[in-house]
Amino acid sequence: MSTDAIAMPSTAIAPRPIVATLHEWVTTVDHKRLGILYIIYALAFLLIAGVEAMIIRIQLIRPHNNFVSPQEFNRLFTMHGTTMIFFVIMPFMFGFANYLIPLMIGARDMAFPRLNAFSFWMTAFGGLLLYFSVVGANGLYGAGNAPDVGWFAYAPLTSQTFSVGHSTDFWILALLISGFGSIGTAINIIATVLCMRCPGMTLATMPLFAWLNLIMADLVILAVSPLTAAQIMLLIDRYLGGHFFDTQAGGSAVIWMHFFWVFGHPEVYILVLPAFAFASEIIPVFSRKPIFGYSVMVGATIAIGFISMSVWAHHMFTVGMSSAANNFFVISTMAIAVPTGIKIFNWLATMWGGKIEFKTPMLFCIAFLFQFLIAGLTGIMQGAAPFDWHLGNSYFVVAHFHYVIVGGILFCLFGAFYYWFPKMSGKMYSETLGKLHFWIFIIGFHLTFDFMHIPGLLGMPRRIYTYEPGRGWDTWNFIVTIGVFFQAAGILVFLGNLIWSYFRGKAAGSDPWDAWTLEWSTNSPPPAYNFASIPVVKSRRPLWDLKHPNDPDWNYE
């Protein structure tokens, strides 16, 4: 697509006062601006959670270390986990979904623009309230402290007896508030995808990005609601004399586990389905081939959505469930590998025989394919109950889910950043810095998370504050911590690239990747109304049809 086709209005526009600009952003209901707000907000929390991770790893770099106190250590891993899941990855995904879905389906905005703004601000205030606990958790009457009950906050650790003060309350309320925001966004995504597609775009011709986010939004509604209910029950336990999770008064601590993981495992798919969506858009464009097996990809996504609601108790094998329950959750966990495996085969088949361009987004997606496969395999290992009895609560588990979250999801996110940055900013990023980021980060990732499996196999428990020397864990922990510094350097290169490219980057034009979905048919960055005229499409790759009028896709679909 030609870059000279973008013509700005001829009249010069005076720079707006900063207050007016801020007012525009605070009052905006534009899906693109809200998407960018989500992304910037998540980037800020990524830095905070990253610093927390570094402190955790510095504490564990050698035996008997006292870099932070045990109390601080507990707060750090709680805040790191909570922040990464609820205030980094989810907002990132919501941000990209917000920005891209209306553009991809040829709509002017989300179905409920004001609800969209409300949802973002609820999420934002939820995160701020969580970190306000650092100063205000004792009710402003003394020194505050952050929550320290772990990101899944098992009972009875959360009872008044073991968690005095208000730190746990801040954790509950922050997730409750951000949960309302998540549900609002999910409703919006579902309504937008189902009701606002442009003429000609059926469910069978909709971009896979929209399909995957539709299933993700369904999962949000199904999974976040039980968590919200459980948070309210926990508040009732703590302040109104309830006994839902009080085992000494007829309650059940295991019920909390069920409530949490009935949210917690679908949550993994809430995070990973949008990552799949990024890969499903990026891999075909840089392989110069249409996605292989579109219908099967959609079917596999729906299957993942269903099966993901039936695997939650594989997090609870070590609790001591009945054999029938163990058998069921082993089988369902194995079953979910099937549609996920289908997706991996389809991405590989898309690349097979293609003219692959190894641009930065593609590099991140290729790394994602390998790493997510390994993450899936270690997941299958732990899905076998007897294996999990050995490794439950060990660093092997920590390595596994970081392989999923970082090796799978974060790599795809970086790919998405580089792929859509030209559309969002109108500028091209630096390919050199992008590749530097990729190589530094992938070295750091593998140093950290490959070697993290080994102390887990050797019996190192998760959340351990420090350890005795001579257990065979020392060298591995040292290597793992060194890897974190590589990752931090990679993130700094990434941020530097974004900032430098935004101010100094070359003009990107409307379609720098010669891509095929509708967002590339409008200017970069897109105008407030997205499209001067609502497009009418006839196939899954409407821009391909325009670029190849003699060989359009609708001949084959």
Partner 1 sequence: MASETLDLSPETERAKQGTIELPAPTAWPIILAFGLTLVFAGLVTSASVSILGAFFTIAGCVGWFRDVLPQEEHESVPIAGRVPTAETRHPQVAHVEWKTEELQRARLPLEIYPISAGVKGGLAGSVAMAILAVLYGILSGHGVWYPINLLSAGFFPARATTEQLAAIHWDAFIIASIVHVMCSSLVGLLYGVTLPMFPRGPVLFGGLIAPVLWSGLIHIMLEALDPVLKQRIDWGWFVVSQIGFGIVAGVVVSRQVRIRTWQYLPFAVRAGIEAPGTMREKSGRNGEP
**Nearest distance in Å: CB 291, partner 1:** 14
Nearest-angstrom CA–CA distance, 411 and 491: 12
List the one residue out of 151, 165, 148 whose CA is nearest residue 87: 151
Look-up: residue for tokens 């922040």? 83
Enumerate residues 96-135 that contact partner 1 by CB under 8 A.
Answer: 108-109, 113-115, 117-118, 121-122, 124-126, 128-129, 132
Instruction: Count Cα atoms within 13 angstroms, Cβ side, for 383.
Output: 20
CA-based radius of gyration for the chain: 24
Q: Does 265 bind partner 1 (CB under 8 A)?
A: no
Enumerate residues 192-221 that contact partner 1 by CB under 8 A.
Answer: 198-199
**Nearest distance in Å: CB 52, partner 1:** 22
Judged by CB, which is closer to partner 1: 28, or 158?
28
Look-up: residue for tokens 């399909």? 211
Nearest-angstrom CA–CA distance, 36 and 25: 10
- The residue from 12, 14, 18, 532 that contacts partner 1 (CB under 8 A) is 532
Q: Does 229 bind partner 1 (CB under 8 A)?
A: no
Judged by CB, which is closer to partner 1: 56, or 224?
224
Nearest-angstrom CA–CA distance, 52 and 78: 10
Annotate each residue in 235-264 with x if it binds partner 1 (CB under 8 A) or - if it does not, as one string: x---x-------------------------
Q: Does 527 bind partner 1 (CB under 8 A)?
A: yes
Angle of helix 208-239 relative to helix 294-308, nearest 10 degrees?
A: 10
DSSP run (H or E) holding 331: helix 323-351
Instruction: Count Cα atoms within 13 angstroms, Cβ side, for 198.
Output: 26
**Nearest distance in Å: CB 8, partner 1:** 6
**Nearest distance in Å: CB 340, partner 1:** 20
Is residue 31 a contact partner of residue 84, using CB atoms and an 8 Å limit? no
**Nearest distance in Å: CB 141, partner 1:** 9
**Nearest distance in Å: CB 172, partner 1:** 9
Is residue 513 a contact partner of residue 3, using CB atoms and an 8 Å limit? no
Judged by CB, which is closer to partner 1: 132, or 306?
132
Enumerate residues 29-48 that contact partner 1 by CB under 8 A.
Answer: 29-30
Output the six-digit token pair for 372.
């997510």
List the one residue out of 406, 420, 193 whose CA is nearest residue 285: 420
Enumerate residues 406-425 that contact partner 1 by CB under 8 A.
Answer: none
Query: How many other CB atoms are there within 10 angstroms of residue 220's CB atom?
Result: 26
DSSP run (H or E) holding 328: helix 323-351
Say how many residues make up the chain: 557
**Nearest distance in Å: CB 434, partner 1:** 20
Nearest-angstrom CA–CA distance, 236 and 162: 16
Q: CA 96, 24, 11 angle in degrees (round to 5)?
A: 100
Q: Does 183 bind partner 1 (CB under 8 A)?
A: no
- Point out which span in 273-281, 457-465, 475-483, 545-553 binds partner 1 (CB under 8 A): 545-553
Enumerate residues 484-513 that contact partner 1 by CB under 8 A.
Answer: 509-511
Alpha helices in 83-152 (DSSP H): 90-104, 113-136
Q: Does 548 bind partner 1 (CB under 8 A)?
A: yes
Q: Does 295 bind partner 1 (CB under 8 A)?
A: no
Nearest-angstrom CA–CA distance, 449 and 406: 9
Q: Environment class of residue 337 by beta-carbon count within 10 Å: exposed (0-12), middle (13-18) or buried (19+)?
A: middle
- The residue from 60, 105, 173, 187 that contacts partner 1 (CB under 8 A) is 173
Q: Does 330 bind partner 1 (CB under 8 A)?
A: yes
**Nearest distance in Å: CB 232, partner 1:** 11
Q: Does 140 bind partner 1 (CB under 8 A)?
A: yes
Q: Does 177 bind partner 1 (CB under 8 A)?
A: yes
Q: Does 20 bind partner 1 (CB under 8 A)?
A: no
Judged by CB, which is closer to partner 1: 19, or 66?
19
Enumerate residues 307-326 that contact partner 1 by CB under 8 A.
Answer: 323-324
Q: Does 523 bind partner 1 (CB under 8 A)?
A: yes
Output the six-digit token pair for 556.
């084959």
Judged by CB, which is closer to partner 1: 69, or 555?
555
- The residue from 16, 21, 40, 139 that contacts partner 1 (CB under 8 A) is 139
Q: Does 362 bind partner 1 (CB under 8 A)?
A: no
Q: Does 137 bind partner 1 (CB under 8 A)?
A: yes
Is residue 517 a contact partner of residue 207, using CB atoms and an 8 Å limit? yes
**Nearest distance in Å: CB 337, partner 1:** 14
Output the six-digit token pair for 548.
């190849």
Q: Residues 20-40, buried b or exposed e (16+ Cβ, 10 A)?
A: eeeeeeeebbbbbbbbbbbbe
**Nearest distance in Å: CB 423, partner 1:** 12
**Nearest distance in Å: CB 176, partner 1:** 7
First to last CA, the chain: 24
Q: Does 78 bind partner 1 (CB under 8 A)?
A: no
- Point out which span in 43-51, 90-98, 379-387, 397-405 binds partner 1 (CB under 8 A): 379-387
Judged by CB, which is closer to partner 1: 159, or 477?
159
Q: Does 228 bind partner 1 (CB under 8 A)?
A: no
**Nearest distance in Å: CB 264, partner 1:** 22
- The residue from 27, 66, 202, 295 that contacts partner 1 (CB under 8 A) is 27
Three-state DSSP state, 300:
helix
- The residue from 368, 521, 539, 541 that contacts partner 1 (CB under 8 A) is 521
Output the six-digit token pair for 146.
């952050």
Enumerate residues 270-289 that contact partner 1 by CB under 8 A.
Answer: 288
Is residue 299 a contact partner of residue 368, using CB atoms and an 8 Å limit? no
Nearest-angstrom CA–CA distance, 77 and 143: 20
Number of residues binding to partner 1, judged by CB under 8 A = 79
Q: In sequence order, what are the beta bridge partners of 507?
A: 427
- Point out which span in 1-9, 150-158, 441-449, 455-463 binds partner 1 (CB under 8 A): 1-9
